[in-house]
Amino acid sequence: MFRPKIPTMPTPTGIVTPPVVEPTAIIQHTAAPAPAPVAPAAPARATVQLTPGTALALVGGGTAVALVVGAVLVSMLLAVAVTAASVAVCALVVRSLIASEHKRR
């Protein structure tokens, strides 16, 4: 009852044919002569040159990203703090209600 049931491989239904294997011909090629040495080519990627305007745009974009990420993190921290404060107030109210209930009896 408590043993797991292991599924079995389903048996094929209908006619089962083995896969057809076709022989392939082996073709041997003669070795091609080695190519002549070529002078080294120029680098594929060009170097990036920053102009003062581009550098200013990069700094501005990085600053904007840092401010947005900071604002999101601060808002999440504020949400956690507000939630904790509201839970603490609820706990105090429930504690007060329970204490006043015991005093009446």
Q: For the whole prediction, is pTM greater than 0.85?
A: no
∠ CA 52-58-60, rounded to 5°: 100
pLDDT tens over the chain, length 105 residues: 678 787 787 776 777 677 777 777 777 777 666 676 766 666 677 777 889 899 999 999 999 999 999 999 999 999 999 999 999 999 999 999 999 887 776
User: Tokens at residue 8, please?
Assistant: 């079995």
Residue type for position 90: C
b/e burial code for range 53-80 (CB count within 10 A of at least 16 → b): eeeeeeeeeeeeeeeeeeeeeeeeeeee
Give every CB contact of residue 50 below 8 A, 6+ residues apart in sequence: 58
